[in-house]
Amino acid sequence: MDIQKFLILKNFCNRIIGKSIDELKGVIRPKEMEIRSCYSETFLLSSEGFLNMILLDAIFILELFRRKSEKDSGSSKPHEEDSENSKAHYQIDYILSRPCMEFSIRHDLLLLENQPFFVLEELYGHLCQHVEPNTEEKTLLELSCGFFGDLYDGVKPEPKKCFNYDLVGYFRPTQILSPSSPEPKNDAVNDFKDLVNRFPQDRSSPNFIEVKHFTDLVRYFFLPQNPSPRSEPIEVKHFTDLLRSLLRPYDGIKYTATKLDEAGLKFTRPDSERDLLDIKLRPNHCLERFQCFNLSWLLSCLPFLKSDCLVRRVQRCLEVPPLCVDDNTEGLFRNLMALEQCHYPNETYICDYIVLLDDLITTESDVMLLVENEIIDNNLGSSAAVTKLFNKLGLEIGLPGNSLYGNLCDSLNEYSKSNWNRLVGTLTKVYFSDFFKGTATVAGIIVLVLTLWNFCRVLSKVWV
């Protein structure tokens, strides 16, 4: 691979007129110590050897991103036979044509201790000054979003078609189109623009986001655009405050998905565009005040009555954006969680999300419930594998007291503690789980009422 990287570097210098390897090394030489400090290990390399290593990797990454962008946009040009340019492009195209190799490289780039983003920015910014005039070059941020955009789409279940309605599932969530509605145009382009727009380019803007490395970049893909306000951490003035802060654990949800379902809570996908981490308990002020109006048992035994309007009025719902779980899920979230534990201890959005799912998922029945409600798209093959995955991800994760889902957990715990909600849930599961059980229950109640009425009538005659 080092030989291939050197060929790519040589071709790169030939393509950028007037550039040499020594000149490229001169761009990053002033930041050598800063680059070395980004790694925990000590490199026993000379200055020249270290710069050569960094330059080889940096140019390889830039060329890989550029070629990926050209192929995705359809602007790639045919290679000239027996040329150095053709050989270098062939190696990159070979990688991009092998999903396993591209995924392996993407996985390596997501590791925390990898190429710092500012190194690539320095090189790419310097090189963009020497491109041909009137040539539109994408920014490094656009190239990076194009390369890692597959991870953004990787949690998105495949679109489903049913009765001429296109259900555009997940991450940019459910969108239902009528048969007469126009088809969505170029969803890949729209998703790409959405990713790029998450990073304001103006450094003077208060919303400017400085990307530390690729793991940091991918983390911003998944963050909520308008996160719920987090409770303020305890202000530490002396040791008592410090002890109180350490002893204030994250409570979480005390009930699993099946327990919440037994209490009459309905798990559903959001019916509007929603971010992955944007999990909400659908507000219903009527049911919050008058719990006796919870008619989930009626909708359970008479499914033909279900409609968005009716469900909103007579049933409490937890809206969870769907998640596609496959072989890549664990590696992706482990890196993102490790980043937050190291660099964002008070903004652990991804960790909060995983711990919330870990609270909801304890047994295989919890996974089966979420799969039935189209919350989880299980591509691991078994519910046990998904259960083990989230239980392992949430193991020994430290969260601050001001979790993203702190208020949601309190609301769910309070909902499950309600005796009426649990009674309605039991009534639904035991007597009104489907149409036939509901019919038998109603018939039994009618027979019982008629029997009691007849008994009272006979008893009244006897007394007379």
CB atoms under 10 Å from CB of 236, counted, come to 13
3-class DSSP state of 165: strand
Element (H, E) at 162: strand 160-162
| Token pair for 164 | 């001429």
Tokens of 244: 């109180």
pLDDT score, position 362: 92
d(CA 359, CA 318): 14
Pairing, β 160-162 against β 165-167: antiparallel
What's the confidence (pLDDT) of residue 251? 67
pLDDT attached to residue 166: 34
pLDDT at residue 23, rounded to an integer = 85
Rounded to whole angstroms, the Cα distance separating 320 from 302 reads 24
> What is residue 6's predicted lDDT score, i.e. its pLDDT?
83
pLDDT at 384: 94
pLDDT of residue 168: 32
Q: What is the value of pTM for the model shown?
A: 0.77
Low-confidence ranges of the chain (pLDDT < 70): 16-18, 75-90, 130-136, 152-194, 200-208, 226-251, 283-314, 398-402, 432-434, 464
Task: Give the number of other CB atoms < 10 A from CB of residue 130.
Answer: 10
48: exposed, middle or buried (C-beta count within 10 Å: 0-12, 13-18, 19+)? exposed
Given this model, what pLDDT does residue 25 score? 87
Which string of DSSP letters, residue by residue, matches 235-258?
P-SSHHHHHHHHT------SS-HH
